Structure 1
Amino acid sequence: MSTDQSPKILDTGANGGEELIRFENVTKRFGKATVLDGLDFQVGRGKHVTLIGPSGSGKTTILRLLMTLLKPDEGRIKVNGDYLTHEERGGKLVPAREKHVREVRKNIGMVFQQFNLFPNMKVLRNITEAPVTVLGMSKDEAEQRGKELLDLVGLGDRCDAYPTQLSGGQQQRVAIARALAMRPQVLLLDEVTSALDPELVAGVLDVLRDVAHSTDITMLCVTHEMNFARDISDQVLMFDEGKVIESGPPEKMFSDPDLDRTREFLSAIL
């Protein structure tokens, strides 16, 4: 790992716009395995960045660090100018208290591979529960917002259904609406179609295309759906063994990458 105190940060679109996410020398280990190795990169506000690479290369770990489901072993992460797992006290940077973590994390929403809906709650309440309990939104405002989001994902007529009454694709669209209900600045997408039957994938990806093209939400996406990545991305990062080995706009990365490793990976999945 580099010991440089002023890391060279990989720019993924912050120049010409405000930086929203920054990883500084972030290392994450599981036992003796180093999953992220001194990772440096930044994402500009409103940009859509897709992470590609083989399984085990560290892509999902990045999303889980941003959600504070994991903590880095070394390095620091900033979101919207605030440290995520650290805070400044007495002129020093120290591990953050839970209150600080919760406050910064409110800016981040995530859609997982599995839908993780509450089976005992109807669809609308699945969407309104967190805005009411976490953001302090009134029930009326949360329900109005929830109905608007269900319309957005094409499920405006399923407010009173239970998750078990929906198809997998419909449940994933509810999960997308639930993440958007928190009004996140950052939306993390972790292989959101991998648990779906093939015929359901297109509908979910169409919803996410609409979100990408009609909102200013910053998106960080892990996917093997390369056509989707080409459509929505400002920048594509190729990961291998815990490092970014190549990055560029989608037209460059998918048509004429510089590295043999990137070409090998893309030829195996396209």
Structure 2
Amino acid sequence: MIRFTDVTKRFGEVVSLDGVNLTVAPGEFVTLIGPSGSGKTTILRLAMTLERVSSGTIDIGGECLTHMPKGDRMIPADEKHLRRMRQRIGMVFQQFNLFPHMTVLRNVTEGPIRSLGKSREEAESRARELLELVGLADKIDVKPGKLSGGQQQRVAIARALAMDPDVLLLDEVTSALDPELVTGVLKLLADIAAATDITFLCVTHEMRFARGVSDRVVVLDRGRIIEEGTPERIFADPVQPRTREFLAAVLDRE
């Protein structure tokens, strides 16, 4: 469902990703871990088209995201191509990015109505289902400013799911939450992953969550993938010394 092929991303003289090759199968939950500055979030930003690759290609569902055909060659994707491809991808950010002047219900329905062309009745019906799923059925008429951080993140998750994405990108979704709210949001995501066929690509510093929900864990360092495998192997028997060093540091903090 997701394929990075020889992807490099530079910011001026800084190489954020260096020839990354990564494949995520349909329905798989893959978690990216590694030290700050290792390139994890850059991978998500490229997949969400918030940044463009410096070289290499990204495919979503067998179709190139970063490039498009023109005659007998591939050229960088134009905005029309990117808009169409974005409809297959959802993202939940560190910050909730809700519309403060809209109710919870309207926050969830605005995207499907404007971007997917759904009727208001259809969008609201689906939004109510999703808000029930995330435990906020009683908050549909409330504006985000009246919600806790955990509740706002649940609205953001419902909003992403309302777009019926093939792929859901999660970028440190609990980092802005108070510690007592983290467990509930992580359990919700684990339940959604278990109950749907959505493909997940996740960046997190919550190692217990990565170990518990992931099908595969990918370790990055200095813009390169240095190791990947099942959570059981990565956390119990990492091969690379840099992985052992990183895990020792973060698990000590937990």
Alpha-carbon RMSD across the aligned residues, in angstroms, is 0.6
Q: For residue 7 of structure 1, what is the aligned residue in structure 2?
A: none
Partner of 1:135 in structure 2? 116
Q: In the TM superposition, what is the alpha-carbon distance from 1:61 to its structure 2 partner?
A: 0.3
Match status 1:111 vs 2:92: yes
Q: Distance in 1 between matches of 2:89 and 2:170?
A: 11
Letter of the 2:248 partner, please give it: S
Task: Give SS of 1:220's match.
Answer: strand
CA deviations on 1:155-199 (whole Å, 9 max, x unpaired) are 110000000000000000000000000000000000000011101
Distance (Å, rounded) in 1 between the aligned partners of 2:169 and 2:214: 13
Match of 1:156 among 137, 140, 143: 137
Unaligned runs of 5+ in 2: none
Q: CA deviation at 1:96?
A: 1.5
1:98: how far off?
1.2
Q: 1:197 aligns with which of 175, 178, 198?
A: 178
Per-residue CA deviation, residues 223-270 of structure 1 (Å, 9 max, x unaligned), is 011111111111000000000000000000011111111011011111
Letter in 2 for 1:102: R
Letter matched to residue 257 of structure 1: P
For residues 171-210 of structure 1, the aligned pairs below 5 Å read 171-210=152-191
1:74 aligns with 2:55: yes
What letter corresponds to residue 199 of structure 1 in structure 2? E
User: What is residue 120 of structure 1 aligned with on the other side?
Assistant: 101
Give me the identity figure in percent.
64
Q: Match for residue 42 of structure 1?
A: 23
Cα drift, residue 100 of structure 1: 1.1
**What corresponds to 1:10 in structure 2?**
none
Show structure 1 runs of 4+ deviating over 3 A: none
Instruction: Confirm or deny that 1:56 pairs with 2:75.
Output: no
Answer yes or no: is 1:253 the counterpart of 2:234. Answer: yes
Partner in structure 2 of residue 91 of structure 1: 72
How much does 1:144 deviate?
0.5
Supply the AA of the counterpart residue of 1:34. V
Q: Which amino acid aligns with 1:26?
A: V
Higher RCO (C-alpha under 8 Å, 6+ residues apart): 2
1:4 alignment counterpart: none
Tell me the amino acid that sits aligned with residue 128 of structure 1: T
Q: Determine whether 1:227 maps to 2:208.
A: yes
How many angstroms apart in 2 are the aligned matches of 1:248 and 1:101? 31
Q: Distance in 1 between matches of 2:85 and 2:224?
A: 25
Instruction: Look up the match of 1:237.
Output: 218
* CA distance in structure 2 between the partners assigned to 1:89 and 1:31 by the alignment: 29
CA distance in 1, matches of 2:85, 2:152: 27
Aligned partner of 2:207: which letter? M
Structure 1: segments with no counterpart, 5+ residues: 1-19
Bigger share in helix: 2
Number of aligned pairs? 251
